[in-house]
Amino acid sequence: MKQILILGAGTAGTMMANKLSKGLDIEEWKITIVDKDKIHYYQPGLLFIPFDIYKKEDVIKPKANFFPSNVEFIITEISKILPEENKVLFTDGKTIKYDFLLIATGTNVCPEETPGLKGNLWYKNIFDFYTLNGALELQKFFRYWEGGKLVVNIADMPFKCPVAPIEFVCLADDFFTKKGIRDKVDITYVTPLSGAFTKPIATKMLSELLEEKNIHVVTDFYLEKVDNEKKTIVSYDGIEIPFDVLTIVPLNKGDEMIARSGMGDELNYVPTNKFTLQSDKYQNIFIIGDAANIPTSKAGSVAHFASEIVYENLICAIEGRTLTAKFDGHANCYIETGKGKGVLIDFNYDTEPLPGTFPLPGIGPFGLLKNTKMNHYGKILFRWIYWHILLKGKEMPIESHMTFAGKNKVNI
Amino acid sequence: MVEKIIAGVTVNVNNEGYLENPAQWTKDIALEIAKEYNLTLTEKHFQVIDYLRKAHLNGETLTMRKVGSSGIVDIKGLYELFPGGPLKISSKIAGIPKPTSCV
Ligand SMILES: Cc1cc2nc3c(=O)[nH]c(=O)nc-3n(C[C@H](O)[C@H](O)[C@H](O)COP(=O)(O)OP(=O)(O)OC[C@H]3O[C@@H](n4cnc5c(N)ncnc54)[C@H](O)[C@@H]3O)c2cc1C
C-alpha cells in the first residue's frame, strides 16, 4: 500500500482527509492524519467569546468526529520532517514513511516574542483572543469591567484572519453600548499597517465604519515592547500608547516543527508555489492552509478554495502528469461589524475587494463591501457550514476561483 | 506611470514616487531620493539598500522582521537609519517597489 500522510488536523488537514478518502482508491492508498490535539477548535468562533455571544462548547468538538472510517487518525506530536528520506519523526519515537506529504500545521500566536507582553499583566490586563484560553479570560474580565482605555493592537504582519481585530473593535463598541457604559470606554485600534486594512477600497470603507463608531485608529505603529509598569505599548520609534486593557494579536509564526525540519522561512512558513501549492523544493510535498508562505490571507475560506487545487494537483502528481490546477489566492471573508450587521469581502492575488453582490451576480443575497443584516446572518450560518459541510470536504455552492460577475468597478 | 528625472537620469516612477524598474536605479538616484527625507546616506544605509535590492531580485517578500534578522541591522537600527516608515522609505531609496503586506 502507498501512503499519504497529512500533518495537522485543523481546518485544512481535515478537509483534505475527507476529500482524499472519497477520491482515492482505498485498496491502494493508506491515508493517515496526525495532530497533537484531539480537540478541533472553531477558530472564527473565538471572536464571539469575549462578548458572551458564544460559550466554550460552541467552538470545540472532538477531531475524531470528522474523519471517515478509512482514514487513520493518530494523536501525537510531530517532531520533524525528513524530506530527503520521505519520512516524518514523532516525539514518541515513531516514524512514518510517506509517498506524498501534505503539510497543514497552520500558524500559532507567539506572545513570548515581544518583550513585556507575557509579563505581570498577562491575563490580568492583557489578553489575546486567538486562543481559547485568552478568549475565555477576556470574557471574564469584560463581564465586570467598568470602563477605561481599551487598546487593540496587532504586533506584526502577517497574521491569520486579518479582519478579526476589526471585527473585535466593532463588537466591543456594540457590547459596551448595550451595557450602557460606551461613554466610559475609549476604544483605540493600533496597527502596523498604514490604514485599517491593506487593500485601498476596503480600507476606505472600513475606516469610515470605525470613525462612525467613534473608534480611534493609530496606523504605522510597529510594536517593540510592552511596559508593564506604565501600562503602555511602545513602538520601535518610541511612541507610547497607554491602556487599561490591551487586546493583542501576538506575532504569528508557523509551527517550530517546520524550523526543526529546516523547511521554513524566517517566520516558519513553508516556501510554496503560489499557483500549484506544491513545495518549492520537494515534488511529493504540498502545503495547504496557514502553513504556506503564499501571499494571500491566512483564513479558513482560503484553505477551502485551496483544497480543490491541492486535491487536483496531488492526483496529477500521483499519476505523473504536469500539475493542471492553478490557485488564484481566492479569499472570502464575512466581517462582523456589530449591531447585527456584517460586511462581505471577496478578493484574490490580483484583485482587491470590490462592491457588488455575492454569490449570485445582481441578486446576492450577500452584499459585497456593504454593511448589511444579511451578511451578519452569513457569518452566523458559517459556524453550521463549517462543522457540517466545510470540514467534511463537501461541495459548497461557491467557485474556488474568484469571479468578477456581480462586482462593480470603483474609483477612489 | 510617469517619467521623472532624478539625478540627471530619466526613470519611470509610480504615483507614489517608487521606481517602476529597479534596473534603472543608481547610487546617485538613491542619494537624491534620500534628500526628500532629509537623509544623508552613509555606508550603513547602503549596506541595507544592497540587502533590500538583492532580496527583491531574488523574489523574496520583504518585512521589517526579515530585515531586522538579516544581520546587517536590527529593527531599532532600521528606524534610526530611516525614521518615519523604515521599510517604505528604504525601499523607495533602494529603487524597489513599495513593500506590500499581505492581507
Ligand atoms: C479569532 C479568529 C477568527 C477567525 N475568523 C475567520 C473567519 O471568519 N473566516 C475564515 O475563513 N477564517 C477565520 N479564521 C482563520 C482560520 O481559523 C484559519 O485560517 C484556519 O483554521 C487555518 O487552517 P489550518 O488547517 O491551516 O490551521 P489550523 O486549523 O490552525 O490547524 C493546524 C493543526 O496543526 C496541528 N499541529 C501544528 N503543529 C503540530 C505538531 N508539531 N504536531 C502535531 N500537530 C501539530 C495543530 O494542533 C492544529 O490542529 C479565524 C481565526 C481566528 C484565530
pLDDT at position B93 is 97
Whether residue A193 sits in one domain with residue A144:
yes
Domain count, chain A: 3
State the alpha helices, DSSP H only, in A179-252.
Answer: 200-212
User: Do A87 and A98 form a contact (C-beta atoms < 8 A)?
Assistant: yes
Flag the least confident range among A133-147, A238-252, B50-64. Answer: B50-64
Query: How does the average pLDDT of chain A come out, rounded?
Result: 94
pLDDT band with cut points at 50, 70 and 90 for residue A352: confident
Say if residue A96 is in the same domain as residue A117.
no
Interface size, chain A vs chain B, as Cβ–Cβ contacts under 8 Å: 45
**Ligand 1 near A298 CB (within 6 A):** yes
Q: Given B61, B79, B102, which is nearest A237 (Cβ)?
A: B79
Model pLDDT, residue A99: 98
Amino acid identity of residue A216, one-letter, is: H
**Which pLDDT band, with edges at 50, 70 and 90, does A412 fall under?**
low
Residues A233 and A183 grouped into a single domain: yes
Q: Does A18 touch chain B (CB under 8 A)?
A: no
Is the model more confident about A368 or about A405?
A: A368
Q: Which of A201, A236, A293, A332 to mutate to test the interface with B (most CBs of B within 10 A)?
A: A236
**Partner residue facing B103 (CB), from A156, A198, A222:** A198
A189 and A116 inside one domain:
yes
Longest dimension (CA), chain B: 38
Is A190 domain-assigned? yes
In 10 A of CB A352, how many CB atoms? Answer: 16
The residue behind cell 450560518 is A381
Confidence bin at B101 (pLDDT 50/70/90): low
A203 and A172 co-located in one domain = yes
Does residue A232 share a domain with residue A147?
A: yes
CA atoms in the 13 A half-sphere facing the CB of A111: 20
Average pLDDT over residues B69-92: 93
For residue A326, the Cα-to-chain-centroid distance in whole angstroms is 22
The strand pair at A107-109 and A252-254 is best described as antiparallel
- Whole-number Å distance between alpha carbons of A226 and A233: 5
Å from CA of A299 to ligand 1 middle:
8
Q: What is the pLDDT of residue A411?
A: 63
Q: Which of residues 6-35 of B touch A (CB under 8 A)?
A: none
How close are the terminal C-alpha atoms of chain B, in Å? 25
Using 50, 70 and 90 to split pLDDT, how confident is the model at A197?
confident
Residues linked to residue A89 through DSSP beta bridges, in sequence order: A80, A95
For chain A, how far is it from start to end, CA to CA, in angstroms? Answer: 57
Choose one of A37, A105, A258, A384 to mutate for the ligand 1 pocket test, by most ligand atoms within 8 angstroms of C-beta. Answer: A105
Contact B75 A197 (CB under 8 A): no
Residue length, chain A? 412
Helices then strands, each counted (H, E), chain A: 8, 24
Taking the C-alpha atoms of residue A48 and residue B24, their distance in angstroms, rounded to an integer, is: 51
Q: Is A21 in the same domain as A59? A: yes
Residue numbers of the domain that contains A378: 331-390
State the average pLDDT over residues A56-83: 97
Counting from 1 in the atom list of ligand 1, the atom nearest the Cα of A15 is: 25
Instruction: Give me the helices (H) in B1-103, please.
Output: 27-36, 43-57, 64-68, 75-81, 86-93
> Would residue A185 count as lying in a domain?
yes
Same domain, A289 and A243: no
Which residues of chain B lie closer than 8 angstroms to A292, CB-CB? none
Q: Do A85 and A17 fall into the same domain?
A: yes
Q: Tell whether A243 and A276 lie within a shared domain.
A: no
Preceding omega of A359 cis (within 30 degrees of 0): yes
Same domain flag for A218 and A339: no
Find out whether the beta carbon of A77 lies less than 6 Å from any atom of ligand 1.
yes
- The cell for A27 is 485498496
Q: Which range has highest mean pLDDT (A10-14, A383-387, A400-404, B61-65)?
A: A10-14
Q: Does B102 touch chain A (CB under 8 A)?
A: yes
| Residue A385 alpha carbon to ligand 1 centre in Å | 16
Q: Do B85 and A297 touch (CB under 8 A)?
A: no
Residue of A nearest to B82 (CA): A237
**Is B79 in Cβ contact with A267 (below 8 Å)?**
no
Touching check for A99 and chain B: CB below 8 Å?
A: no
Angstrom distance (rounded) from CA B94 to CA B101: 18
CA–centroid distance, B50 to ligand 1, in Å, is: 37
Strands (E), A206-320: 216-218, 223-227, 232-235, 240-242, 245-249, 252-254, 285-287
pLDDT digits (tens, 9 = 90+) for A138-164: 999 999 999 999 999 999 999 999 999
A119 and A220 in one domain? yes
Q: Is the peptide bond before A200 cis (omega within 30 degrees of 0)?
A: no
Tell me whether B77 touches chain A (CB under 8 Å): no
Q: Report in angstroms the alpha-carbon separations of A157 from A102, A294, A348, B65.
A: 25, 13, 18, 9
Q: What distance in angstroms lies between residue A58's CA and the mean position of ligand 1's atoms? A: 16
Choosing among A197, A219, A222, which should be mutated to test the B contact, i.e. which has the most B CBs within 10 A? A222
User: How far is A75 from chain B, CA to nearest CA, in Å?
Assistant: 32
Residue A409, domain member (yes or no) = no
Task: Tell whether A220 lies on the interface with B, counting CB pairs under 8 A.
Answer: yes
The answer to whether residue A400 is domain-embedded is no
Kindly report the CATH number assigned to the domain that includes residue A277. Answer: 3.50.50.60
Question: B103 falls in which pLDDT band (50, 70, 90)?
Answer: very low
Instruction: Give the model confidence (pLDDT) of A221-235 as tens digits.
Output: 999 999 999 999 999
Q: Where are the beta strands (DSSP E) in A276-349?
A: 285-287, 331-338, 341-347
Q: What's the CA angle centered on B73, arms B68 and B77, to 5 degrees? A: 95
Query: Is the minimum distance from the CB of A333 to ligand 1 under 6 angstroms?
Result: yes
Ligand 1 centroid from CA A363, angstroms: 32
Give the pLDDT band of residue A307 (cuts 50, 70, 90).
very high
**Mind listing the pLDDT tens digit for each residue in A79-117?**
999 999 999 999 999 999 999 999 999 999 999 999 999
Q: Please list the active-site residues of B.
A: 102
